[in-house]
Structure 1
Amino acid sequence: MTGIVAYPKRHVPRGEDFLLLSPTAQAHAYRNVDRMFATRAIRRGSSVLPLERGQEISPRYQAAQGACDVDAYMDRANVAGLLVIRHEKIVLERYSLGLEENVRWSSMSMIKSLTATLAGAALQQGAIASLDDAVSKYIPALRGCAYDAVTIRHLITMSSGVRWNEDYTDRNSDVNRYSKSLGDKAPGGVLALMRSLKAEHRPGSQFNYNTGDTYVLGSLISAATGKTLADYMSETIWSGLGMEYDAFYTLESEAGQEIGGSRAGIALRDFGRFGVFLLRNGVVDGTPVLPPDWVEHAGRPAFVLDAATNRYGATGYGYSWWLDPDGSMVAVGFAGQSLYVNRKNKVVIVTLSCQPQPPYSAAYDVDLQTEYHAFKNAVLATCG
């Protein structure tokens, strides 16, 4: 008699629930994005950019409950990975919540800033003629819809004017419809969603945070370069700069288009190396990967923001980079992910977290935005 052999399986949450997970599931999901969604590897090269070790810093800051050190910050802010680089030397590196040095943690929306940087590379190489080119010049499938009047510049500054709801708690919001399409791995599903959206404002007139805009941007870069987004990232930055580990982009479907705006998987130190790439003004081995003024323009406000009304406390938004009150560039992601690049002081801070979201956050008594900025300021004070 032939029996049925039951093999063990590793459980992961449903992809469509990715933005709605309980604190119990967050850390597991963020370490296992490649088990939840289709992905494509961003390949590293044959050598690794060395990051020397400097004297470890011990920043302390004041919270409502009293003085806090690094360990207290990690506990209070649900931090899984913390990295501080000063003058290209690691001065602080910590891991928690199951994150290890070689584990790729979900970037969430931090990848928006990295994807937008590829637009600079394509501009430098001539694959994109101008940031003022129409989206439909590169993606004919978007002719005749709201994106027909949108330019690349509008995409990278979140000012497409297309109506979009980024409410993570509403299962029927545009961002959760997008998330469900990813979880279902539906070929062409995201592009169909983007085509269905209506124009709400004149392109370029208003800032409206839109994850779908960066999906369109990633698709445009692929069309302009004739390469997958993952291969183009590998070719232009990942392999040449010397990342330590392969990373990955999430795909809309098996073997489909990369999702340029969320859920990529990257190791902690490699996020830091991307910050170093920007400190070097986008130059790799003496070769400019980006136009000479790209990083400067990326870090200028295309839109001035009220710090009290956005999730980071930013005072502006540039080329898909949030701008810190101190003028630094910050890639920001859902649930506490951030890549802070302070070009003036040559400081990079990477924070990977799994901060509780509604409705679970109602029971959490830490003001996470205030906590982050207090710690960041303590790091800068300690670095001198």
Structure 2
Amino acid sequence: MSQSKAEPRRYVPRGEDFLLLSPTWQAYAYRNVDSMFATRSIARGPHAFPLVRAAEIAPEYEVGEERYGVDDYIHRANVAGLLVLQGDKIRLERYGLGLEEHLRWSSMSMIKSLTSTLVGVALRDGAIASLEDAVSHYLPALRGSAYDTVSVRDLITMSSGMDWNEDYTDRNSHVNRYSKSLGDKVPGGVLELMRSVHSLHTPGTQFLYNTGDTYVLGALLSSATGQTLADYMSSKIWARFGMEFDAFYTLESEGGQEIGGSRAGMALRDFGRFGLFLLRDSVIGSQSILPENWLDDAGSRIFAVDPSTNSCGADGYGYSWWIDPDGSMVAAGFAGQTLYVNRKADIVIVTLSCQPQPPFAASYDIDIKAERFAFKDAVLGSLRSAG
């Protein structure tokens, strides 16, 4: 029996373990998502939107009776990438845990907010007629399921009413069955899972976080526009606004549907540029590519939420955006990924992290949520003082 030669090979964790990784493997996996899952490129354009390197800020914050600085925050909150923009000016940029300027880091669920923005683009284009349209109108694969009574608006506000289990520690939960299907690259596997989910509440009446719903939203966008999600993102925002690097959506299977709600890969500064695109009210050149008042609606508290029940301490939820207590829009993802967009103050803060997860988090005695709020307030204070 012949054997292959012992060539050097790189180990990557199994895709089905992506939400259950130990701190030892988190940073490696989060910057190598394209080695774990099938992907499709979001192509950049010929020119990058220029960001100006302005005077660096040095925010200091207090937690308990201790005072900390930027390096402390990076160390204590397990930060891999940190970016602060004031308009188009870079006021702070840091890297750690193996992340580099050109590397793409996993968005986790931050991509939900970016994908939801494309719904507004599709409305403006006329590809989606109304947010009140039934999901199954655009997705024949879900006809005859509980999604017949769910509207696009219900999807985008996490109020589909589905009896979905988002418990990351339960291997049999919906979200981990979804994750296993993606890791196994099963064609049509996620939509088959979504067809099996039953209704729990009347659609549009209650908020319940549901990663599967944003997969459905991405599939709906592809069906409505007749384009892959990656190509639509590229042609409408990524290339036109001037992102610096190619990004990627992960796919459910080789050559299959993009995952609209998790684990896309993007470089730190391009997360920041997306925030800047929103600060500029979605205007590219002289044209706004979102409907009038879209961002006001997307950033409104459509549902009130308990800040203790989410990782970013939000007290509201809009169009797949968390709403910070100060009224800012926040795209948030598993293990500490955040894109904070303060349109009133013209400020964007991006944080890419590796926060330990259960059961490993039990031995980590830092309140990272309190840390994030204290650091955010220090950044805002530093920028106000600097003028």
Residue 160 of structure 1 is matched in structure 2 by 160
Could you report, residue by residue, the CA deviation over 1:187-226 in whole angstroms, capped at 9, with x for unpaired residues? 0000000000000000000000000000000000000000
**1:308-323 maps to which residues of 2 (within 5 A)?**
308-323=308-323
Aligned counterparts of 1:117 and 1:194: Cα–Cα separation in 2: 22
Per-residue deviation at 1:313? 1.1
What amino acid is aligned across from residue 137 of structure 2 in structure 1? Answer: K
Per-residue deviation at 1:182? 0.3
Could you report, residue by residue, the CA deviation over 1:125-176 in whole angstroms, capped at 9, with x for unpaired residues? 0000001110011001111111111000000000000110000000000000
Residue 169 of structure 1 is matched in structure 2 by 169
Residue 181 of structure 1 is matched in structure 2 by 181
Aligned counterparts of 2:67 and 2:310: Cα–Cα separation in 1: 27
- Note closer, same or farther for the CA distance 1:364–1:65 as it changes in structure 2 (3 Å cut): farther
TM-score normalised by structure 1 residue count: 0.99
Residue 351 of structure 1 is matched in structure 2 by 351
- Note closer, same or farther for the CA distance 1:96–1:7 as it changes in structure 2 (3 Å cut): same
**1:1-384 maps to which residues of 2 (within 5 A)?**
4-64=4-64, 66-384=66-384
Aligned counterparts of 1:163 and 1:4: Cα–Cα separation in 2: 48
What amino acid is aligned across from residue 239 of structure 1 in structure 2? Answer: A
- Note closer, same or farther for the CA distance 1:382–1:191 as it changes in structure 2 (3 Å cut): same
Aligned counterparts of 2:130 and 2:118: Cα–Cα separation in 1: 14
Unmatched segments (≥5 aa) in structure 2: none
Per-residue deviation at 1:305? 1.3
Report the count of equivalent residues: 383
Per-residue deviation at 1:7? 1.9
Aligned counterparts of 1:308 and 1:256: Cα–Cα separation in 2: 36
Per-residue deviation at 1:292? 1.9
What amino acid is aligned across from residue 243 of structure 2 in structure 1? Answer: M
- Note closer, same or farther for the CA distance 1:6–1:284 as it changes in structure 2 (3 Å cut): same
After superposition, the CA RMSD in angstroms is 0.9
What amino acid is aligned across from residue 102 of structure 2 in structure 1? Answer: N
What amino acid is aligned across from residue 17 of structure 2 in structure 1? Answer: D
What amino acid is aligned across from residue 362 of structure 1 in structure 2? Answer: A
Per-residue deviation at 1:309? 2.6
Could you report, residue by residue, the CA deviation over 1:211-260 in whole angstroms, capped at 9, with x for unpaired residues? 00000000000000000000000000000000000000000000000000
Q: Is the 8 A contact 1:281 1:292 kept in 2?
A: no
SS of structure 1 residue aligned to 2:94: strand
Unmatched segments (≥5 aa) in structure 1: none
Could you report, residue by residue, the CA deviation over 1:351-381 in whole angstroms, capped at 9, with x for unpaired residues? 0000000000000010010000000000000
Per-residue deviation at 1:4? 4.2
Aligned counterparts of 2:4 and 2:160: Cα–Cα separation in 1: 55
Per-residue deviation at 1:287? 1.4
